[in-house]
Amino acid sequence: MTCGPGYEALRRGRYSQPASRYFLTLTTEERRNGLNSAPLATVIKREIIALESDGSWRVHAAVIMPDHLHLLITLGPRLSLGQSVGRLKTKTRGFLAEAGLGWQGNYYDRHLRPDDQPEEVIRYIFLNPYRANLLTTTKTYDWTWIGSEEQRWLMPQTGDRRPFPEWLQ
């Protein structure tokens, strides 16, 4: 696989710090659509939850879009950030291939500082499918999930688990 000019820049300075929050974006090769098809999204969600179940990370919010995946996680002590993402990609690679898709070679991560408030990132993740016009605000998106602690403050602010139209302006 050939890597573009920005590939090495993504790796430079990357570090893993257990108990830190990271906003992650994983993208399909050539931004091809299909990740949010029910069979594939189910597999991806299952593997994300498996990583949470074994202590690799804690998921605060996630959304599976047609050509990318966003996660806000707190990294656990078990694996590094790269190992966790690598495991997710490895466990889902065959299913993506069956759908004619593949993961882009790298991923984007943003380390949130301890004093950063995650609410803005969680709202971004929650609103992503609506802003992409995948559905209207009268519906809920099947491939978004919010952690239980985060639901306690976010969901009371929503219209029955849906964004208010003015949030999208």
Inform me whether the pLDDT recorded for 12 exceeds 80. Answer: no
Domains of the chain by start residue, with CATH = 14-157 (3.30.70.1290)
pLDDT tops 60 at residue 27? yes
Angle at 51 between CA 147 and CA 43, to 5 degrees: 90
Mean pLDDT of the chain: 91
Name the pLDDT band for 157 (thresholds 50, 70, 90). Answer: confident
Instruction: Tell me the average pLDDT across 28-34.
Output: 98
The pLDDT, as a whole number, for residue 165 is: 73
pLDDT at 54 over 90: yes
Percent of the chain residues topping a pLDDT of 70: 91
| Start-to-end C-alpha separation, the chain | 39
Torsions phi, psi of 70, nearest 5? -115, 140
pLDDT of 8 higher than 60:
no
